[in-house]
Amino acid sequence: MSLLFSPLKIKNTTFKNRVVVSPMCMYSGQDGFANDFHLVHLGSRAVGGAGLIIQEATAVSPEGRITPGDLGIWKDAHLDTLTQLVAFVHSQNAHIGIQLAHAGRKASHHLPENGSKKIAPDGEDGWQTVAASALPFRDEEPAPIALDEKGIKKVKEDYIAATRRAARAGYDVVEIHAAHGYLFHQFYSPLANERTDLYGGSFENRIRLLLEVTEAVRNEWDDAKPLFVRISATDWTANGWCIEDSIQLAKALKKLGVDLIDTSTGGNIPKATIPSKPGYQVKFAAQIKQEAGILTGAVGQITTAKQSEKILQAGKADLILYARESLRQPYFALQAAAELNENVAWPLQYIRAKI
């Protein structure tokens, strides 16, 4: 059997294969609510054979949304549609995770179809953003407010409440979004954090908020269920966050009960030079896996079954996450199985088309 289609057990959860649909914002919610689009979108990837589907960045608070179209889990009313979504994915013999997120200073933007530009706090559909420090993502944008002690406490409480709701909805995995220049990345990167209190300055202080939230989430989340954290392994910028920092962070997260590091990069600096090419982030997943001794997921321009299998066979990662490729091919897993000569189960409704 290929590694891509071999099962992987994490805690009490056995994923039927290593094919994971990466969390991708769809900007199609309303007041945080999922709708029929999300059911069809994520459901079709479950029908398509993925072992795990991770739901897009789902805001733990209204101010944590990137746009007014983001999904949310900040109130109980959100659970009706989310529970329906979870149930359908489970009915297709797949697992589903939820990425809990807070955008920090990268919140309050127009929808992509409206240009994705920053909305001022007093603008229509806009709100005041918060961050580690009062530094805007782009110089021309309104500055966020640096979180004070009360604001930090609220972030922790929001993550605790969101985790409880995720458990009630029946998700199999919780992933904390700490990458791509969003709130936790804003704290741990020295390029976005100018604080002089317990949450700024030294490496230990800059990672403090992420560790405190992770510990709180782990305490709320079933010990037997997997907990992932997505990080940006590097800022791709001099004097910024780097792979050596990520390895130390991964070690600290592992001690708190994190099971897997979903390894991405960038997003914190608008003008960073990123050498984007097929598999360009895999080396970071490999380093973290080897040096921190923790499971990793590889993501970033991984588009074929053979490329995926090569990564797994080399021991560079344990799961492969597909973003754009899963948009192009909702049934990627079924097609990849055929390419690797794997005889996997097809949905009964589609079995007449089995290759």
Query: What DSSP line would sit under 249-316, residue for residue?
Result: HHHHHHHTT--EEEEE---SSTT------TTTTHHHHHHHHHHH--EEEEESS---HHHHHHHHHTTS
β-pair type (8-10, 13-15) = antiparallel
Residues assigned a catalytic role? 182
- pLDDT confidence of residue 7: 98
Model pTM? Answer: 0.98
Six token digits for residue 2? 């290929």
pLDDT at 121: 97
Quick count: other Cβ atoms within 10 Å of Cβ 283?
14
H or E element that contains 208: helix 208-220
3-state secondary structure of 339: helix
Residues of the chain with pLDDT under 50: none
Distance, in Å, from the CA atom of 181 to the CA atom of 188, rounded to the nearest integer, reads: 10
Residue 240's H or E segment, with its range, is none
* Homologous superfamily, domain 8-353: Aldolase class I (3.20.20.70)
Burial class (CB in 10 A: 0-12, 13-18, 19+), 242: middle
Which structure tokens are listed for 200?
Answer: 């700024």
Q: What is the pLDDT of residue 168?
A: 98
What does the domain layout of the chain look like in residue ranges? Answer: 8-353
Return the pLDDT at 1: 84
Q: Residue 118 has what DSSP assignment?
A: B
Kindly list the distances between the CA atom of residue 130 and the CA atoms of 25, 28, 122, 135, in Å, as whole numbers in the listed order. Answer: 20, 23, 15, 10
**CA atoms of 256 and 126, how far apart (whole Å):** 36
